[in-house]
Amino acid sequence: MSMYDTTQVSYLIRRPGGCGLVRSADLPIRQGCLAKRPRCEHAHDMTAHHGAHAHNHGHTHTHPGTQQPDWDAFAPLLEQGAELHTPVYDQAIAWLRERFAASDGSVRRVLDVGSGPGVVTCLLARAFPDAEVVAVDGTPALLERARERAARLGLGGRVTTVHAELPEGLDPATIGTADLIWSSKTVHHLGDQLAALRRLAAALRPGGLLALGEGGLPTRFLPRDAGLGRPDLPARLEAIQAERFAEMRAELPDATETVEDWPGLLTAAGLTGATSRSFLLDLPAPLGAAGRDFLRNELVRWREAAADRLDDGDLATLDRLLDPDDEAGIMRRPDAFLLTAQTFHVAAREE
Ligand SMILES: C[S@@+](CC[C@H](N)C(=O)[O-])C[C@H]1O[C@@H](n2cnc3c(N)ncnc32)[C@H](O)[C@@H]1O
């Protein structure tokens, strides 16, 4: 029995001509009864998020009244983040190449499920030069970015996209089968994570690998005491993000509580030899321009998510960190750094 069975959760309705969904009166609702994930229906100004002085121009990264990400609004940040985290993905992909080399396995078809803007899709295409690589995602604007990137990098002949709503779209009739399925930071957006892994496992060819990017370490970016406001602001932001994450999961269709033992879940999905490794992104102080720009955009998002849960002192600290003209701001201070790790869990379908 799930703790959500008797919870009062918000019923979501579409607002004609507006952005996504609005909250109506709280109504009792059965577990898993929420409508499909919200979608924004108006055009987004993608360029508004670019550049060192980018801020959100009043547009938020979640659909109003929910904790569900607005992926259109996220697009620039996803792309910038994936580019910055390329050293992490390169290490994880090198590990996969070693795994295939050790088993003499050939890689002819790769699926990047929840590809986002296709940064990793293109890294996969480079790393597996004999493979057709397919970006699978539910957000058309992100798939468009993936196609543009592949064309720009001369990979357009081998990179294709499939628009699919998950988990239903994880059907071999929609996505086909593959020797390698990569899915990073996506399964946690699906209500029943084990069911999704079972579907992913079913799309693997015998001997194929599923590489799941889930978990790791939160991003660290300032000393504990940064000489600005109360120490430990990053830890308080992390705690709020953890609360928001749990709320986001509880809202998902078919939300199911799962012990997030990823190797155990891959095994329960019928795969063998589940192994986990974590890879570091270590950009020490003084951080370069690209790292600062990403961090500032992340801080905009974190401030937005935490605004109603932080005290005035912490909000004032965040405002100073965001001010591009402030010596103590993230764009100028000498002690800003970026340190994080992402974990990948890999398991095989038996020959
Ligand atoms: C956090 S992003 C991860 C992007 C990329 N894999 C990365 O690691 O940077 C999650 C991606 O999953 C997609 N996504 C989330 N829920 C989905 C669903 N229910 N159906 C289809 N795509 C979904 C979003 O559009 C987004 O591109």
User: pTM for this one?
Assistant: 0.86
- Burial category of 232 from C-beta neighbours within 10 Å (exposed 0-12, middle 13-18, buried 19 and up): middle
Q: How far is the CA of 115 from the centre of ligand 1 (A)?
A: 6
- Residue (of 115, 273, 102, 249) closest to 201 by Cα position: 273
**pLDDT averaged per 10 residues, the chain (length 351):** 24 26 26 44 36 45 89 95 98 98 94 98 98 98 98 98 96 94 98 98 97 96 96 95 96 96 98 98 98 97 93 97 98 98 98 88
Give the pLDDT of residue 64. Answer: 84
User: Measuring from atom 7 of ligand 1, which residue has the nearest CA?
Assistant: 184
Distance from C-alpha of 45 to C-alpha of 70, rounded to nearest angstrom: 13
Question: For residues 48 and 118, what is the distance between their CA atoms, to the nearest angstrom?
Answer: 20
Atom number, ligand 1, closest to the C-alpha of residue 37: 19
Q: Closest ligand 1 atom, CA of 142?
A: 27
Q: Is the peptide bond before 140 cis (omega within 30 degrees of 0)?
A: no
Pocket (CB within 6 angstroms of ligand 1): 37, 71, 78, 82, 114-116, 137-139, 142, 165-166, 184-186, 189-190, 213
Q: How far is the CA of 247 from the centre of ligand 1 (A)?
A: 17
The residue nearest atom 11 of ligand 1, judged by CA position, is 114
Mutate to test the pocket of ligand 1, among 133, 139, 190, 244 (most ligand atoms within 8 A of CB): 139
Q: Which is nearest to 266 in space by CA: 324, 340, 189, 345?
A: 345
Domains for the chain: give ranges and CATH numbers.
70-349 (3.40.50.150)
Place of tokens 């009739």: 173
Question: Relative to the CA of 85, which ligand 1 atom is closest?
Answer: 9
What pLDDT sits at residue 38?
A: 57
Q: How far does Cα 167 stand from its chain's mean position? A: 16
